[in-house]
Structure 1
Amino acid sequence: MYLTMFLSSVGFSIVVTSIWPYLQKIDPGANASFLGWVIASYSLGQMIASPLFGLWSNHRPRREPLVVSISILVAASCLYAYVHVPASHNKYYMLAARALVGFGSGNVAVVRSYVAGATSISERTSAMANISAFQALGFILGPAFQAAFTLIGEKGVTFTAIDLQLNMYTTPSLMGAFLGIVNIVLIFVIFREHRVDDLGRDIGNINYEPEALDSQSQNEEAVDQVAVVSSNVLFFVTLFVFAIFETIATPLTMDMYAWSRTRAVFYNGVILAAIGVESVFVFITVKILSKKTGERVLLLGGLATIWAGFFILLPWGNQYPKIQWADIENTTIHNSSSWSSHFMTSSNHTTEPTGCPAAQSWCFYTPVIHLAQYLTSDILIGLGYPVCNVMSYTLYSKIIGPKPQGVYMGWLTAAGSAARTLGPVFVSESYTHLGPRWTFGLICGIVAISLVHLAAVYKRLIPFSVRYRKI
């Protein structure tokens, strides 16, 4: 299950820093708004699939939804490597490929529901932290693989017989497909199912003893729905702001520091990998701290740290970014006011234009975000996000209690997927038209409201067995 979570994470992160230049390469007509939808399509697919796979896992052996979902992920990863082949509408093929990769990654709900059912309440935080650590490991190695594959270059090697181009954009996706095949083999060979109650006593497998468990569940008290909804809301906010952070990284650094697309992909791949390493250490620390402080305190601290990370990103000072004038010479780009001007070059230019596009009016009056600000923000968000992630899942599983959690986990995963869908779309529009000051200011406001909400429901976020005094 840890490996399955790892591969789901790799499926998203291994191409996230290169989607924008790859999109421009295969379809120069694609603009910033479409970039937002391409990135969001992964999460939209996951949002649709998660409750379905969760429901499936409640009534059938979990091996079935796991194998089906990973098979879809493998096929979609191969499709991503071939989106350059059609003569037209290439951007829509990329959109479909990313949506199917997301649909295949809907097995996250199955994984977390299994772990919740296979651990006692005292083991839950540690197990959820382990899952999140493997998820973080996927975020580490995904961008790291992409950064390494930049050495292949944009041209790479072409196998004409099968219309396959192995380059810095397609090779990571094919590697993800290979890892998925390995995952399917291991699920058949190694995976076995177990289920225990909150005290750790074996109660059989839900998938094979539905009658006994149904009669037992009828006698159980109701789950606190206010706590359930609040947990979903807080998890949504956590994933929403992190999806914005991931999406904005490449365009922001290209605008602020005049990085070329290759440098931006490489440097942000390294930065995201470093954040992943930081997250692993955070998960190890969280497993120790949660025994002393409890999950709610850590969740509150994680949200406050995320707020600080985005607050630091607010522009200040009297130094302004370098302006990219190439788009002024091309009226179609000038009128588009989109990120596409990053990579569209005038016929008079032989090199790629860099800097903040003149079509984005805020470039002329918004101070540059210093590299020290950006890196400090990376560190703080890399600290706060993993804490919020693992505490949200842990609290949620404890709030639900001994009931089958497949559907519940499906809804939580869907909430996170909805956040990953809306986050890129929100930031692609707000950043292009309003600039970083408004974008990061709005995010600070959203996180601040979430902190107030958490304080209001703080006393209700307690384990099911504690609420009804079974433990």
Structure 2
Amino acid sequence: MKQKVADSEKSVDPVFRITSGPTSLEKDESDSSLDAKEECFSLADEDAEETNWRLIYITAVVSFLGAIEGTAVHMSEWPYMREIDPDATVKFFGIASSASKAAHALFVLIFAVWSFKYKTVKWPLIAGRIIAMVACFIYLCIEYLPTGRRYLMMFCYILFDISGSSPSILRAYIAAVSMPKDRSKAFAAMSLSMTLSIICGPLIQMAFTTIPYPGFTIIPHVKFHVYSAPIWIANSTNFISIAIIVFGMKELPRKPKTKKPKKPSIFELEGLKMRIQKIKKANIDWILVFVVWIAKCGKTMTARSIGTLLPILMMVQYGWTGIETVRITSFLMGGSGLLSMFVIGSFMFCKLGTIVQPRFIYLFSISLFTMLYIVTYPYKSIGVEVAMYNATDNTGCDPDKYSWCEGGIAPQPILFLCCMVFVFGMTMPSSAISLDTIYSKILGNIDQSVMQGAAVILDDIMMVITPTYASYIYTLLGLQPLWIMNGCIMSCVVGLWIVMLQKFKDYS
């Protein structure tokens, strides 16, 4: 059985992750989970022996344009919120992030049902881009509000994540326009396009760091500066995306009706019940399934907590300004993106997944991620003092908001940033590839749609819970307790994986 990569939308943190789209490098040619997805679409020529590479590349471009919007905008969310609304707190930012992820999870399902029920790809994608355009327009006009701007920003975050959920339907589209023998390359094109967005998004943001807030006034209350410039660029990509979707992509015809009884869809109650009954009868090692779920949740939770707090740490722990935070975050994302491309390339071209068993690759990934919390822990002996509060720039540790400011210790900034780039760049793609490969093999030759969906739901739950968890712990107790808690979670995951390592041998 061949290698298969998890959906990066569900496996990589927003600061270092791609916000949406399919990323499987290799798909099992007999992967039954695709059967359910291909119920939506079929190739125009049932006897076609060639993959429609034109549509593959067009789809990759659409996915890239949608993802680059998220990567460019996300880096400046906290600095901008703090700039225009002094009442914004870390707790509120965490709640806003959780709300946006909850909306994302809900609309992934809504867009999937829409696409399946009405046999369309174009309209859900166009709807997503229109929602993104509305979000951009509102975001640019936020300063019309005299007070409470953080609430409107939270609404914009929700709209951005809703728009980012529409490209999730592209997995089925790629499966429909590619032949089984070419499916690995087709999903690899998607994976590379999404990874490129991690690199290009920060470059867009970096290009405007020379225009500090408040920048240039275009019309009253609408300005062009370091925080709004990516929104202008993102809005232009929405027009380009819609044009490509309308004129470049094509709806795929339904399969011709036959006398053969139609298999109930997973979106129908009967279809769901039927699949659950088949899963109950299947010879699945449920212990290993639960181990995979636990490992996935632990990794997602700890990685997402870093993604939520990273810009906050830069401004509070080190006292860096909003522009400095955006600039440094751009370097971090660009560096981790380049390293991720190297890792993905090693799986694609060097066949790393066949040279080293996936169970060992995943063990290496989670062990390295655990070491991140040990190496970057704010030790008193090698750490630096938390920056004092600067009321002018609204940076540093404000003792009125954080009771732990006095005597607080932060990690060495150079060590902290270098570890973030290396660990996220190395572990995110490798852990996603290896864990999804193992999980797929554990499930075996069944319709995997329900079980894959269960893993996605668990991942979404962690994505919703974690921002609030991380922001509250950090606000009340500081970085040290949060790092200890996350380190303990990852240590438990590593320990559990080592205990079960031999049992994974048959699936590696």
Length-normalised TM-score, structure 2: 0.73
Aligned to 2:393: 352
Matches within 5 A, 1:261-276: 261-276=322-337
One-letter code of the match for 2:219?
Answer: T
Alpha-carbon distance in structure 2 between the residues aligned to 1:391 and 1:2: 23
| Residues 166/404 of structure 1: CA separation in 2 closer, same or farther (3 Å cut) | farther
Determine which structure has the larger helix proportion and give its number: 1
Aligned to 2:166: 107
| Residues 394/188 of structure 1: CA separation in 2 closer, same or farther (3 Å cut) | farther
Structure 1: give runs of 5+ residues left out of the alignment.
195-203, 327-341, 346-350, 467-471
Aligned to 1:312: 375
Aligned match for 1:242, one of 284, 303, 313: 303
Matches within 5 A, 1:301-340: 301-318=364-381, 321-322=384-385, 324-326=387-389
Cα offset, 1:99, TM superposition:
0.4
Aligned match for 1:58, one of 116, 122, 132: 116
Aligned match for 2:77, one of 15, 19, 22: 19
| Residues 236/46 of structure 1: CA separation in 2 closer, same or farther (3 Å cut) | farther
One-letter code of the match for 1:441?
Answer: I
Alpha-carbon distance in structure 2 between the residues aligned to 1:362 and 1:139: 34
Q: Does residue 438 of structure 2 align to residue 377 of structure 1?
A: no
Alpha-carbon distance in structure 1 between the residues aligned to 2:258 and 2:230: 42
Aligned to 2:432: 389
Is the 2:315–2:395 contact (alpha carbons within 8 Å) kept by the matching residues of 1?
yes
Is the 1:43–1:99 contact (alpha carbons within 8 Å) kept by the matching residues of 2?
yes
Aligned to 1:286: 347
* Matched-pair identity in %: 20
1:351-401 Cα distance to aligned partner (Å, 9 max, x none): 426544444343444443112421342112221012223445555667486
One-letter code of the match for 2:361?
Answer: L
Alpha-carbon distance in structure 2 between the residues aligned to 1:84 and 1:43: 24
Q: Does residue 349 of structure 2 align to residue 300 of structure 1?
A: no
Aligned to 1:42: 100
Is the 2:90–2:312 contact (alpha carbons within 8 Å) kept by the matching residues of 1?
no
Alpha-carbon distance in structure 1 between the residues aligned to 2:258 and 2:466: 41
Matches within 5 A, 1:78-89: 78-89=137-148
Backbone CA RMSD of aligned residues: 3.7
Cα offset, 1:271, TM superposition:
1.5
Alpha-carbon distance in structure 2 between the residues aligned to 1:182 and 1:19: 24
Q: Secondary structure at the match of 1:159?
A: strand
1:8-64 Cα distance to aligned partner (Å, 9 max, x none): 433332122221221123222111111112333332221111122223333322223
Is the 1:110–1:409 contact (alpha carbons within 8 Å) kept by the matching residues of 2?
no
Alpha-carbon distance in structure 2 between the residues aligned to 1:404 and 1:110: 17
Q: Does residue 479 of structure 2 align to residue 445 of structure 1?
A: no
Alpha-carbon distance in structure 1 between the residues aligned to 2:171 and 2:259: 20
Alpha-carbon distance in structure 2 between the residues aligned to 1:126 and 1:442: 40
Alpha-carbon distance in structure 2 between the residues aligned to 1:181 and 1:397: 38
| Residues 154/35 of structure 1: CA separation in 2 closer, same or farther (3 Å cut) | same
Is the 1:51–1:410 contact (alpha carbons within 8 Å) kept by the matching residues of 2?
no
Q: Secondary structure at the match of 2:73?
A: coil
One-letter code of the match for 1:292?
Answer: I
Aligned to 2:213: 154
Which stretch of structure 1 is more off in the superposition, 129-138 or 265-274? 129-138
Alpha-carbon distance in structure 2 between the residues aligned to 1:77 and 1:185: 18
Q: Secondary structure at the match of 1:445?
A: helix
Alignment coverage as a number of residue pairs: 431
Q: Does residue 81 of structure 2 align to residue 32 of structure 1?
A: no
